[in-house]
Structure 1
Amino acid sequence: MDLTLGNFVKGLLELGYEQGRNIDVIRRVGIFQDRVPSMEEMVVLVKPDIIAAPATLEAVAARKATSTIPIVCAALADAVHLGLIASEARPGGNVTGIEPYIAGLPTKQIELAREIAPTARRVGLLVNMSDPKGPPQVGDLKAACGALGLGVVEADANTAKDIPTALAALANEHIDVVVVLQTNLLLQMSEQIAAIALEKRLPTVFGYREHVIYGGLVSYGVDLRWCYRRAGYFVDKILRGARPGDLPIEFPSELWLAVNLKTAKALGVSVPAGLLARANEVIE
């Protein structure tokens, strides 16, 4: 099973819910054979007790489809601004879940970029501004670069087809290191981004370990596996009678540092011993 469903089911199992025995997890993409149904169609046809949304875009679609069925989102961002919740402490409506974007993380990612590229003067940002998680990260990353006197060049990729052009543009700007935003699209295209970054000789910093698994250089951020497992906690609470509006939004308490030494060698990057010592995961 994939990152989202596999870990979500594991989280439910840890709480005593077994697929097909005392709970049925139905994937939206499996309802029709020829196309992905709309969220409205899913609500009408399936009549779920709870909707588990993997990320913000799906949570927005689910909220438009229903204001009564509880919605649990494992990777929620900008929820107040989008009108999904009233506040993180007391969501108030039918949406709750986990917010994987932690304040201060972009600063840490820029510091990490400086560790792997100590002489860096220009940082490239591979952005995806159509995703609600994008704009807040860009603002924070620019502020972090400004504090260190680093120049910033952005390249926007809002579809998969944009990614090769965006990375080529950053390479043409002679960027020293690239930071890739944490968004659904860029996560889904991990393998392609890693391959192009290697081809273009771009040392690249990510927020999710999955990028590093597929050949990215280094990542520091939330462990999405935990987020999707933790979503099971919210489902359990709701099934036991809790209202989603009364369940506070949660934030991960630990961050994950991953390094791909094979990629580092291919790029000619010397990974500091101190960074390796801190790493949660080293791929050789």
Structure 2
Amino acid sequence: MDDPAHRWPVSYPKTSQNRATLLGPPNRPPETRGWGHPEGSRILRFAGCHVSPSPGEWARSQVLQAVARDYPSQDAAAVMSILDLYGSDASEPGRVRVQLAILTLSHGDLEELRKLVAHAKRDYRDVLYWTELAQEVRDPIGGRFFEAMLVPALTPARLALLKETVPEVTRVAVFWTRGYPPHRAQLVALEAKAQELHLTLRPITVARAVDLGSAFVTMRREQGDSLIILTSMMLQFHLRELADGALRGQVPAISELPEFPRVRGLMSYGPSVAAMRRRADASAENLVRRLEHEELMDVAAGRPLEPELVINLGTARALGITVPPSVLLRAAEVIQ
């Protein structure tokens, strides 16, 4: 996050308070926090004999299996070379656990892998924390910061923008999380806008990351021809999977987060990165004021929200969509 060239979601948390919520004090060995160690030992068959692998061999095999799962075989050597940069220094703890976390977050993207390894070398706890959030572990403090950065009021405008970009859409799927309070209000606002635009909404619940595959199956079964993704703490770590699923299904999709079109989603419309950071800073200041019993700030006050439209024209071409000039002229960023 220190490098502005990094393209991770702007909302990746990195405060020590948030990490402590999930991981415990940093001086505890990483093997005793979060994931823990698998129990028991696996028995390998070798030359007709049962051989118990050493703990180091077993751990290494987990990394190799994850690489084989997420990356093409021709990239395996390069992936391992990059991964092994973490742990090359004796001061870098939890080598296997951190490497597995990096693989989980990289989603088969070599460039993302390099960035995550570089960040882990600066502070491995951030990478472990992000992985816990991606696996649906809730963090009340981080969740409040995240929600402070978003602007649910723009959700109906995203629906209108999607309709303007692809006028032929009629049945819009909405990926939302039933237990996430901000989403209910957004659904109500979307229903009103859908009636105005003569569209049919198909809300589809995505409570866990493992639900994404079945959500796309449901969308196809219900003949959804477009998609709106309501942002949540968990879904922000799966934007690439969402973009890939929409592209495979030949469905135009829009998100609030500008990272979405950067990972091959069609478009995003939401507050600028600068505005999101200002709102997060104000939310952090309010947390301190609350603890000190001082008057709270208005997070939404101050400079305007500066909503920005980001469009991926490569994805539009792959979907057979010609983006209208009226939409292109409003784009703050166009990805070719």
Common fold, TM-score beyond 0.5? yes
Q: Structure 1 residues 272 and 132 mapped into 2: Cα distance closer, same or farther (>3 Å)?
A: same
CA contact (8 A) 1:123 1:151 kept: yes
The Cα offsets for residues 132-184 of structure 1, whole Å up to 9 and x where unpaired, read as 22211111111210222211112111101101111121122222211111112
Q: Cα distance, 1:224 vs. partner?
A: 5.0
Q: Secondary structure at the match of 2:190?
A: helix
* Mapped partners of 2:296, 2:261: distance in 1: 33
**1:236/1:262 CA distance change after superposition, 3 Å:** same
- Once the two structures are TM-superposed, the CA of residue 243 in structure 1 deviates from its matched residue by 4.3
Asked if 1:279 is matched to 2:328, the reply is: no
Q: CA RMSD in A?
A: 3.2
Could you list the runs of 5+ residues in structure 2 that have no partner in the other structure?
2-7, 36-132
What does 1:189-208 align with in structure 2 at a 5 Å threshold?
189-208=238-257
The answer to whether the 8 A contact 1:72-1:234 is kept is no
Distance 1:72 1:224 in 2: 18
- 1:81-92 alignment runs, 5 A limit: none
Matched to 2:186, the amino acid is: Q
Alignment partner of 1:108 out of 154, 157, 162: 157
TM-superposed deviation, 1:75: 2.7
| 1:75 has 2:146 as partner | yes
In the alignment, structure 1 residue 58 sits paired with structure 2 residue 142: no
Of 308, 314, 317, the residue aligned with 1:265 is: 317
Q: Which has the higher helix share?
A: 2
CA gap of 1:243–1:153, structure 2 versus 1, over 3 A, is same
Counterpart AA for 2:320: G
3-state DSSP class of the match of 2:251? coil
Say if 2:211 is the partner of 1:211: no
Q: In terms of Rg, which structure is larger? A: 2
Residue aligning to 1:120: 169
Specify the SS of the correspondent of 2:323.
Answer: coil
Query: Which deviates more, 213-222 or 167-176?
Result: 167-176
Residue 4 to residue 179, structure 1, CA distance change in 2 (3 Å): closer
Q: Which residue identity lines up with residue 175 of structure 2 in the other structure?
A: L
Q: Please list every run of 5 or more consecutive structure 1 residues that lacks an aligned counterpart in the other structure.
A: 10-23, 38-53, 63-70, 77-97
Is the CA contact 2:146–2:233 (under 8 Å) kept in the aligned structure 1? no
Per the normalisation by structure 2, the TM-score is 0.57
Q: Say which is worse superposed, 215-224 or 150-159, in terms of deviation.
A: 215-224
Contact 1:8 1:230 in 2 (8 A): no
Aligned to 2:307, which of 244, 251, 255? Answer: 255
TM-score, length of structure 1 as denominator length: 0.67
2:272 aligned with 1:223: yes
Equivalent residues in 2 for 1:100-249, closer than 5 Å: 100-103=150-153, 105-224=154-273, 226-233=275-282, 235=284, 243=292, 246-249=295-298
Assess if the C-alpha contact under 8 Å between 1:8 and 1:231 holds in 2: no
Letter in 2 for 1:112: L
Deviations 1:167-226 (A, max 9, x none): 121122222211111112221110001001100111111111111111110111123554
Give the distance between the partners of 2:149 and 2:238, measured in 1 at CA.
21
Summarize the Cα distance change of 1:243–1:100 in structure 2 as closer, same or farther, 3 Å threshold: farther
8 Å contact kept, 1:7–1:228: no
Higher relative contact order (CA 8 A, sep 6+): 1
Q: Distance in 2 between matches of 1:8 and 1:229?
A: 16
CA distance in 2, matches of 1:212, 1:5: 16
Contact 2:152 2:182 in 1 (8 A): no
Q: Is residue 222–residue 255 contact of structure 1 (8 Å, CA) maintained in 2?
A: yes
